[in-house]
Structure 1
Amino acid sequence: MTPENPAERWLYKTLIWTWPFYFLGALYVVGPVLAWIMGAMAALSLYLGPAMRDDLRATGPVPPLVWAWFLGMFVMLVTLWLGHLDWGLGLKKTIKSSIGWAKGWALLALFPLVGAVLPIRRSVLIRGQCVVGAWTLALAPILLAAPYIGLPERIFTSPLKAVGGPGPEYFTVYFFTFDPASWTPRWQFYAPWSPFAALLGVIMVLFALEEKDNKWKAAGIGAGILMIFASKSRMGLVGLVACTIGPRMLPLILRGWAWYMVAALTASLAVIGTAVVTFLGDAVSTFKNARADSTRVRETLQRIAWERWQNEAVWFGHGTVHPGSHAVEYMPIGSHHTWYGLLFVKGLVGFLALLVPLLWHIGVVMVDAARHPRGRLPLGILMTFVLLSFGENLEIEAYMLWPCLVLLGIHLREMADARERIAAPRP
């Protein structure tokens, strides 16, 4: 895989150097820096137009969906200011939170702009993910053996933590961690914690399924599955099945025989419906009980966030997360769930600022995935984002999701190019 222009080269090199950056504790810094540099390049390309060098010239106008993401993230910033103003959090905290916005929410708009405007091929990102998978498989023996040969959990914490971030774990290099509930080892690879590593494994599998070289495909799929199982995350197992199979089944809605099968299955529920409901209820209970302490903490955090949002700050939220008590193992109120977190921190306005562009993007990608194979990977990515949003905070993990965000922009550009080809007059 040879990048054809500087934009591709920077993205590809940054991606394949994921593990070295992790060993330096630099990933949390690299993501936002890349976003703003590449975003500035995209803006410059749009501004200069034909005056820009050929291999970095804008491929077309900014798609409406990218503008929707920019509008939503700008509303998020204004909501942050209003929430800080309402609660009298002071100028220093407002500036700090605004910098946090620039390292988190802003990336959800900047990276799609990069993919939609600059001449970047999706195959570059796909190969890059598979190279990261090869790194992961090469390092797996020492990582998996670490707890059994006496190596420590934590290797070191990078001095880069001085730049500021959500916590020291974003700058810490680990071999593994112990699950406090079962005291068994879990692996988080290059993520700050294990559940997030599992969803990154799902993303790696999604990218690898689109790789044309079988050796690189095997590396990506193998590494992604390893990350899912070694992290011992229930969410990762759900994502592995739903986010890979779902987009590939969507084209069936355009097939007549598929509707006959659905009709037959629906009719059969009259006979087996009770048994199916019972089975699903038992499956959900088993899923929750697999990590009962984690489920309890998450449900308590969500309940507290919901009640305090309704009673204290409906429109613009509390401006920031609040410290949690012993009942939630001192986890911050407003964490561990994107949607409850948005209601608590940024209120109903911030909630809608993410929901509207996300739903619009999902709708566009679903329609394209039903008609064309190019929509499968973007749909799988968005499904993973939705799954991730129910257990994590998207904004503080956007720095690791940038290849997905760039690819969403590339897909919008591909759709626009296809429409232009269809509309072009035939000779």
Structure 2
Amino acid sequence: MDPQTIVAQNVDEKIIYNCISYSYLFWLFGALYVVAPVIAWILFLRLIYKKISRQPAYRVSISHYVWLLGMWVMLIALVVGHLQFGLGAGKLIKSSIGWAKGWALLAIFPLIGCMSIRPEIIYRASCKVCKHTILLFPLFLIAWKIGLPSTLYVSPISIIGGPGPEFFSVSLYEIDPGSGVPRWRLFTPWAPALGMLGNLYFIFAVQEKNTSWKRWGIAGSLLMVLMSQSRLGLVCYLALIGFFTMFRFVRSPWLYLLLSPLMLLVGVVGEATINRIQLSITAIKAARADSTRVRQSLADIALERWMNEAVVFGHGIVERGPHMVEYMPIGSHHTWYGLLFVKGVVGAIALAIPMLVTFIMLLIRLFSQPMARVGMAILLMLGLYTFGENLEILAYLYWPGLIVLGIALRAEEPEDVFTKAAALEE
């Protein structure tokens, strides 16, 4: 395939390509939060139809079924939690809809990856978003310089309901309350989420075969991370660079020649190295001390209430925190603490097992299939962000990564699936 002329070749690819490419357009209408769940369930229904009528072309791996089971258990934990605390039918319905727009996507989008969808389509569309970010950045910078309102408006689409108005607002910039300096979140609900998306687009940009689009992708993804001023975003970006760099030399005998003296050196300067790492971690935390304090307080409250009130199935819903955490929801800023508080041990296990199975399945094929490396990079990113974000609430942003993860998990290579689907349509 000519890397210069990648175009969508079926309905599924067109839907995915356009939904990614026009991210900024959907953002202007405040529709991004709605787009992902809608296309997820539409493509899911299309997959079911195709699975029934064209089984040979669509093979679902055990990993996909594990994700489906895990997210179904999430729903069960949600229902039991509501019944246990007598929250009423209204809140149960609302929370179930929230599940369909959140946790369910973590199972549906990887399953969609089993369809005749080429990852190159997603890579190119993501690089286009990176290019749009670079071209639009001067406008966002000027908006802050001349003192335009940080938030222009909140879309009327917010009437359908959601986590908050920030998911439907058009924000030009925001001022960090701790440092007083500007940071940007663009089409995401908060700045660290932009850092997460920048890391995902970096993974895609590295896979892009066209040199020009690759440069746009890498530059745009780095700009997103820097604009967000997210500490976790920068750490993840460096980790991904190390991950992809490793595979350039992992098969080289020079690696083994270097490992022996390196291990000896680590033994000699190990204590000094550990001390430097600890000082670096302290410095990172001090860079935004108020944020670190709030995050730690939210974690402490979530753990204490989980252990004392709802160990197995959790509280069923999120609750507003006290003044000391600036009234932020208990368990937010951390996937595992949030799961323990809302869905208990059952919910935490329902996420941990699919992630572990996915890790094992990708590890087996890591050195034999290039797509497994891409999938592992995405899993690495998601794993890191479980300690700084709620995966559920941001699934509507990183859903392209879930599709690529599903492609990496399926039993066949992308080209084989696409060829079979094309043959059946003839």
Same fold (TM over 0.5): yes
How far off its partner does 1:370 sit? 3.0
Which residue in the other structure is 1:387 paired with? Answer: 384
How far off its partner does 1:63 sit? 1.1
Distance 1:111 1:316 in 2: 26
In 2 relative to 1, CA 133–269 (structure 1 residues): closer, same or farther, beyond 3 Å? closer
Distance 1:84 1:255 in 2: 55
Which residue in the other structure is 2:173 paired with? Answer: 176
Distance 1:414 1:87 in 2: 43
**Alignment pair present for 1:5 and 2:10:** yes
Which residue in the other structure is 1:244 paired with? Answer: 241
How far off its partner does 1:222 sit? 1.1
- Which of 28, 51, 55 is equivalent to 2:33? 28
Which residue in the other structure is 2:68 paired with? Answer: 70
Distance 2:318 2:407 in 1: 34
Which residue in the other structure is 2:109 paired with? Answer: 111
In 2 relative to 1, CA 311–256 (structure 1 residues): closer, same or farther, beyond 3 Å? farther
- Which of 262, 266, 269 is equivalent to 1:265? 262
- Partner amino acid, structure 1, of 2:217: G
Which residue in the other structure is 1:301 paired with? Answer: 298
Distance 1:231 1:264 in 2: 39
Give the paired residue count: 412
**1:251–1:370 Cα contact (<8 Å) kept:** no
Distance 2:184 2:28 in 1: 15
Gaps (5+ residues) in structure 1?
51-57, 421-427
**Alignment pair present for 1:327 and 2:324:** yes
Distance 1:2 1:41 in 2: 21
- Partner amino acid, structure 2, of 1:13: N
Which residue in the other structure is 2:81 paired with? Answer: 83
Which residue in the other structure is 2:48 paired with? Answer: 43
Which residue in the other structure is 1:408 paired with? Answer: 405
After superposition, residues 6-405 of structure 1 pair within 5 angstroms as 6-49=11-54, 59-116=57-114, 118-250=115-247, 257-405=254-402
How far off its partner does 1:287 sit? 1.0
Q: Does the residue aligned with 1:322 lie in a helix, a strand or coil?
A: coil
Distance 1:263 1:79 in 2: 49
How far off its partner does 1:260 sit? 4.4
Percent identity reads 44
**1:250–1:369 Cα contact (<8 Å) kept:** no
Q: Does the residue aligned with 1:376 lie in a helix, a strand or coil?
A: helix
How far off its partner does 1:156 sit? 0.5
Q: Does the residue aligned with 1:209 lie in a helix, a strand or coil?
A: helix
How far off its partner does 1:417 sit? 7.4
Distance 1:209 1:374 in 2: 12
Listed one character per residue, the Cα deviations across residues 277-315 of structure 1 (whole Å, up to 9, x for unaligned) are 111111111111111110110011111111111111110
**2:206–2:214 Cα contact (<8 Å) kept:** yes
- Partner amino acid, structure 2, of 1:377: V
Which residue in the other structure is 1:54 paired with? Answer: none
Distance 2:179 2:358 in 1: 40
Distance 1:287 1:70 in 2: 37
**1:339–1:351 Cα contact (<8 Å) kept:** yes
Distance 1:354 1:82 in 2: 17
In 2 relative to 1, CA 419–361 (structure 1 residues): closer, same or farther, beyond 3 Å? farther
**2:175–2:182 Cα contact (<8 Å) kept:** yes
Distance 1:82 1:174 in 2: 38
How far off its partner does 1:416 sit? 6.0
Which residue in the other structure is 1:423 paired with? Answer: none
Which residue in the other structure is 1:425 paired with? Answer: none
- Partner amino acid, structure 2, of 1:76: M
**1:314–1:347 Cα contact (<8 Å) kept:** yes
Which residue in the other structure is 2:424 paired with? Answer: none
- Partner amino acid, structure 2, of 1:315: V
Gaps (5+ residues) in structure 2?
1-5, 418-426
**1:197–1:231 Cα contact (<8 Å) kept:** yes
How far off its partner does 1:247 sit? 4.0
How far off its partner does 1:339 sit? 0.4
Distance 2:176 2:412 in 1: 44
- Deviating more after overlay: 304-313 vs 342-351: 304-313
**1:253–1:370 Cα contact (<8 Å) kept:** no
In 2 relative to 1, CA 37–417 (structure 1 residues): closer, same or farther, beyond 3 Å? closer
Distance 1:357 1:270 in 2: 36
- Partner amino acid, structure 2, of 1:328: V
Instruction: Please tell me the root mean square deviation across aligned C-alpha atoms, in Å.
Output: 1.8
Distance 1:108 1:201 in 2: 19
How far off its partner does 1:182 sit? 1.3
Listed one character per residue, the Cα deviations across residues 199-231 of structure 1 (whole Å, up to 9, x for unaligned) are 101111110111111111111111111111111
Q: Does the residue aligned with 2:261 lie in a helix, a strand or coil?
A: helix
Distance 1:29 1:419 in 2: 32
Q: Does the residue aligned with 1:173 lie in a helix, a strand or coil?
A: strand
Instruction: Return the TM-score normalized by structure 2.
Output: 0.93
- Partner amino acid, structure 1, of 2:281: V
Q: Does the residue aligned with 2:170 lie in a helix, a strand or coil?
A: strand
- Partner amino acid, structure 2, of 1:364: M
